[in-house]
Amino acid sequence: MKKYLIICALIVFLSCKHDKKAIDKNDSIKQSDSIFLGENKLGLPTKSIYYPSKRKDSFRLRAFYVDGKLKDSSYITKNGFILGNRIAFEFPDDKIKSVYQYLKIDHKNFLNQYWAIEGKDTLYTYGNHYRIKFYDSIKQNKNFQVQIMLRKSYEEDFSSLFFLTPKEHYSVLKSDFSNYNEVEYDTIKSLKDDEIKGNETYDEYWSKRTIAFRTGFADKGINHIRGILVEQRDTLMDGEKNFIKRYLFVNEEVYVNE
């Protein structure tokens, strides 16, 4: 009897050990906070894994699998608050379908950018997102050109686009934008509205969606282009002009050489 119990205990131990190795290999987890198994409407097995936070805040990484394949992942709290990129995957080929970029603004969940993906390219037919490019070499105490292009707008019939950049050093605007309502800004208008001679000949569609300006940094190393890209739509309500605004928060890292 004693020998029988020892053999049973050994089988259970080896089974648990095998299961843990399988999870580590397939799902790349070392230790999970909790795992929930289920089934979707098609009868396929589902699994939600909540990874423990390695940070001081309450965010946990949630990974969702269907039939053993990753379909969605994002940082989330027990209350459902999302931070970072929420990524959705195509079924059944596991290609990235869409990305939703969430920020924490004023202690609230904010959907900043979102876009669809085909292969390695962002689809311009879906989403609300921008692209930022730098021209010229980026060197200390030397100006270079920045171009921010709104690839896809929240509302196609928006009236104007402008970029709010801090009047002082970009660092006065916190990287989490928690103080964005307390900062004084300079306004940079789109090529369509900036009244710079020659820009009126720029392509009509993209001139409305493009911000271009020159800037520079005194400090070498990592710096940032930080500000708020604002889509504005002019409307009439009760005979009075009103403005509907959609914010896209920009915090692009720039490396400055000597």
- Mark whether 162 and 44 lie in a shared domain: no
- Mark whether 249 and 140 lie in a shared domain: yes
Residue 214 domain boundaries: 129-256
Q: Is the pLDDT of residue 151 over 70?
A: yes
Question: Whole-angstrom Cα distance, residue 159 to residue 243?
Answer: 9
Which of 12-21, 193-202, 233-242 shows the lowest per-residue confidence on average (mean pLDDT)? Answer: 12-21
pLDDT at 144: 93
- Mark whether 185 and 75 lie in a shared domain: no
- Strands of the 221-237 sheet, one edge to the other: 185-189, 160-166, 221-237, 240-256
Six-digit token string for 5: 């119990």
- Mark whether 97 and 133 lie in a shared domain: no
- Mark whether 147 and 251 lie in a shared domain: yes
Tell the residue number behind the tokens 């005194």, with chain if given: 218
Domain count, the chain: 2
- Residues 115/121/125/127 CA torsion (nearest 10 deg): 10
The pLDDT tens digits of the residues spanning 17-71 come to: 333 333 333 343 344 568 888 888 888 898 888 877 665 556 677 788 888 887 7
User: To the nearest whole number, what is the mean pLDDT of the chain?
Assistant: 78
- Is residue 82 situated within a structural domain? yes
Q: What is the mean pLDDT of residues 138-159?
A: 91
Q: Which residue has the higher pLDDT, 167 or 14?
A: 167
Q: Name all contacts of 30-39 with Cβ < 8 Å and 24+ positions apart.
A: 33/60
Map residue 206 onto helix, strand or coil: helix
Count of H-run helices and E-run strands, the chain: 2, 14
- Mark whether 39 and 139 lie in a shared domain: no
Q: Is residue 240 very low, low, confident or very high in pLDDT (cuts 50, 70, 90)?
A: confident
